[in-house]
Amino acid sequence: MTRVAGIPRLSSFKTPSRQSREYIYYRYYFKDLKDVFDTCIKENDTVFDIGCGNKPFEAYIRTLIKNYDASAYRGCDIIQSSGQKVDIICDVTNIAEKSSTYDIVICTQVIEHVFEHSKVFEEAYRLLKPGGFFIVSSNLVWEIHEAPYDYYRFTKYGFIKLLENAGFNVQEAKSNGGKFAVLGQLILHVSGGENRGLKRVFYAIARRCLTLMCNMVFPLLDDKFKDDRYTLNYVFAGKKQ
């Protein structure tokens, strides 16, 4: 099967409204990702985005690096994105860029789709200057997506091992939501099928009410009773020595 160019990609770094069935997921993921960006990225850094898609984080990152030159933020992907944002179309395990070129390399929600995922960590290490940061994220509890190119789920211990094996020192490790965030998101996922016999209008109303209820109640429970043995996603940062 061949991957199709122009498929829709994430285009915004804004948490969706509580009417969205993915509010819980992005509420935690985007907050933690911004925290890591703020910690690791500084003025005049150069950035490379592995699996960049539509570069949804570019605008925010450029406010941190304070540089709007095209060369300051570049990205690669295996196909062109729906927004035509990809600078280099290539296999993300073999990137046509010089070694020790960038201060920051990011790879968000990509490694689960790369069968030889350890090579992504090795490529990130190669591209970074000494002292540079690799910021990487991926799912733990999430539905199968972009099938059949969805190969792995990673625990925090898997992330730590992959980063250390590539030569990085782990600097940041964030679990994006705990057990109640996972429970609320799973309820929304499994209730998201087609109309199963209810009249369409009543089904739509019930679905909207369930979405609002989950998006209001479960984040409150998760913030009060934090337990990240279950989590939706991880964000890690490793530093090249």
Rounded Cα distance between 239 and 133, Å, is 5
Confidence at 199, pLDDT banded by 50, 70, 90: low
Confidence of residue 107 (pLDDT cuts 50, 70, 90): very high
What digits encode the pLDDT tens for the residues 140-180?
999 999 999 999 999 999 999 999 999 999 999 999 999 99
Rounded CA separation 122/166 (Å): 5
The pLDDT, as a whole number, for residue 193 is: 60
- At residue 134, the pLDDT reads 99
- What is the largest distance, in Å, between two alpha-carbon atoms of the chain? 61
| Mean pLDDT within 180-202 | 78
Q: What is the pLDDT of residue 203?
A: 73
Partners of residue 89 on adjacent β-strands? 77
The dihedral through the CA atoms of 154, 156, 158, 161 has a sign that is: positive
Beta-bridge partner residues of 128: 102
Position 1 confidence tier, pLDDT thresholds 50, 70, 90 = very low
How does pLDDT run across 203-239, given as a tens digit for each residue? 788 889 999 999 999 999 999 999 999 999 999 999 9
Please give the pLDDT value at position 207: 86
Q: Taking all residues of the chain, what is their mean pLDDT, rounded to a whole number?
A: 93
Res 18 pLDDT > 60: yes
Confidence at residue 122, expressed as pLDDT on a 0 to 100 scale: 98
In this predicted structure, what is the pLDDT of residue 98? 97
3-state class percentages of the chain: helix first, strand second, coil last, to nearest 5: 35, 20, 45
Domains belonging to the chain, first-starting first, are 29-177+233-240 (3.40.50.150)
pLDDT over 90 for what percent of the chain?
88
pLDDT at 197: 53
Query: For residue 5, what pLDDT band results from cuts at 50, 70 and 90?
Result: low
Average pLDDT of span 54-69: 98
* Helices and strands counted in the chain (H then E): 6, 7
Over range 196-207, report the average pLDDT: 69
Is residue 48 pLDDT above 90, yes or no? yes
Q: pTM of the predicted model, to two decimals?
A: 0.93
In percent, how much of the chain has pLDDT > 70? 93
